[in-house]
Amino acid sequence: MTLAFDHVAVLGTGVIGASWASLFLAKGYRVNAYDPAADAEQNTRSYIQTAWTQLQELGQVSADFDPKRLRFFDTPEEAVKGVQFVQENVPEKLPIKTELYSRIEAGLAPNAVLATSTSGLLIKDLQKGFRDPSRFLLGHPFNPPHLIPLVELLGNDLTDEAAITLAKEFYETCGKVTIRVHKEVPAHVANRLQAAVWREAISLAAEGVASVEDIDKAMTAGPGLRWSVMGPHMLFGLGSGGGGIGEFCARYGDSFHRWWDSLGSVQLNPETIKTLVEGLKAEEKGRDFANLAQERDCKLIAVLKALDKASGS
Ligand SMILES: NC(=O)c1ccc[n+]([C@@H]2O[C@H](COP(=O)([O-])OP(=O)(O)OC[C@H]3O[C@@H](n4cnc5c(N)ncnc54)[C@H](O)[C@@H]3O)[C@@H](O)[C@H]2O)c1
């Protein structure tokens, strides 16, 4: 699918914005950027070099890729001028986001769509930054957005459906997998799933059931591996021996009810944090942040390539 525009903007080029910018450039878009940090342009250009190598390995770089298509501007008003799609990735603070929206709204092109990457703020609160919020929606990625396919889309009754359709098409031309969130709840869908699993992982560590390292291992060598190929409903349907998810519930429903009743409830208080810090130190075995991030991305690329091959695309 080819969209009728080739010019987008990225506002905020930190962890998420630099990754989005890399992907949009790799897909041949011209990218305008704005970030008030003094070293933002230098950091983003250096991030793009690494991301470009990774995207090239995945066969995700279009022939039009050219880092010169990234242009930094001194103000957000200039950055959004004439573009059809804006991805906002500024800090997770309501006043910063709403102030930015009210600054740029008048200069947006007619029918331009503005998507926020917010992980946890509510669309209904963010809409207060606009006089007309109809072209504003949630386009929530997973870190790093240039590698992880998921983007969660959400609007509400003030959102123009055409804006959501355009965003969906745009993300899909960039190789993303979109889902539609129909009801606004804190943290959307995927982060709620992560939060539920992490709560129990912390509880197991805090209760001394297993070490932090072994809990992480239990996830990556067990359910995590399966979840990268199918979701929990489909997998449990397959766990029925052929009778489907109804049969699975009949067989194992009582067990799950007992397990759910025994799940832990935790707080990230100093004692719990100490358990996690010490446990993770043992798991890291001296590897530093850069090494671990490289290992994560390398393995992610290997999984993405294998899945791509298995699905025959
Ligand atoms: N980090 C994650 O794992 C993750 C994942 C998905 C979504 N998000 C969401 O993405 C957004 C950005 O998060 P991040 O982790 O990239 O944060 P970050 O702190 O790494 O980056 C934010 C950037 O915004 C810049 N900035 C500050 N004020 C600005 C303004 N008025 N206009 C433009 N830029 C401004 C900062 O200089 C910084 O470079 C947040 O809403 C967050 O919830 C984060």
The answer, yes or no, to whether any atom of ligand 1 lies below 6 A from the CB of 141, is: yes
The dihedrals phi and psi of 82, each to the nearest 5 degrees, come to: 80, 0
Domains of the chain from N-terminus onward: 7-180 (3.40.50.720), 190-310 (1.10.1040.10)
What gap in Å lies between CA 120 and CA 46, rounded to an integer?
28
List own/partner pairs for 49-53 with CB under 8 A and 24 or more apart.
Answer: 51/18, 51/19, 51/22, 51/23, 51/26, 51/144, 51/146, 52/22, 52/25, 52/26
pLDDT recorded at residue 313: 58
Count of beta carbons in the 10 Å neighbourhood of residue 221: 9
pLDDT recorded at residue 66: 87
**Cα atoms found within 13 Å of the Cα of residue 98, Cβ hemisphere only:** 14
The answer, yes or no, to whether any atom of ligand 1 lies below 6 A from the CB of 96, is: yes
What gap in Å lies between CA 210 and CA 205, rounded to an integer?
6
The answer, yes or no, to whether any atom of ligand 1 lies below 6 A from the CB of 12, is: yes
pLDDT values of the chain reduced to their tens digit, one per residue, 313 residues? 557 889 999 999 999 999 999 999 999 999 999 999 999 999 999 999 999 999 999 999 988 788 899 999 999 999 999 999 999 999 999 999 999 999 999 999 999 999 999 999 999 999 999 999 999 999 999 999 999 999 999 999 999 999 999 999 999 999 999 999 999 999 999 999 999 999 999 999 999 999 999 999 999 999 999 999 999 999 999 999 999 999 999 999 999 999 999 999 999 999 999 999 999 999 999 999 999 999 999 999 999 999 999 987 5
For the CA of 118, the closest atom of ligand 1 is 41
Torsion of CA 218, 222, 223, 228, to 10 degrees: 120
What gap in Å lies between CA 126 and CA 154, rounded to an integer?
12
DSSP codes of every residue in the chain: ---S--EEEEE--SHHHHHHHHHHHHTT-EEEEE--STTHHHHHHHHHHHHHHHHHHTT---TT--GGGEEE-SSHHHHHTT-SEEEE---S-HHHHHHHHHHHGGGSPTT-EEEE--SS--HHHHGGG-SSGGGEEEEEE-SSTTT--EEEEE--TTS-HHHHHHHHHHHHHTT-EEEE--S--TTTTHHHHHHHHHHHHHHHHHTTSS-HHHHHHHHHHTHHHHHTTS-HHHHHHHTTTSS-HHHHHHHHHHHHHHHHHH-------HHHHHHHHHHHHHHHTT--HHHHHHHHHHHHHHHHHHHHHHTT-
The answer, yes or no, to whether any atom of ligand 1 lies below 6 A from the CB of 194, is: no
pLDDT recorded at residue 204: 98
- Classify burial at 32, counting beta carbons within 10 Å of its beta carbon; exposed 0-12, middle 13-18, buried 19 or more: buried
The answer, yes or no, to whether any atom of ligand 1 lies below 6 A from the CB of 86, is: no
| Structure-token match 């525009």, residue found | 5
pLDDT recorded at residue 244: 96
Which of 116, 118, 119, 125 gets mutated to test ligand 1 (max ligand atoms within 8 A of its CB)? Answer: 119
The answer, yes or no, to whether any atom of ligand 1 lies below 6 A from the CB of 93, is: no
β-strands 150-154, 136-141: how paired? Answer: antiparallel
Gap from CA of 21 to ligand 1 centroid (Å): 13
pLDDT recorded at residue 312: 79
Protein residue closest via CA to atom 2 of ligand 1: 143
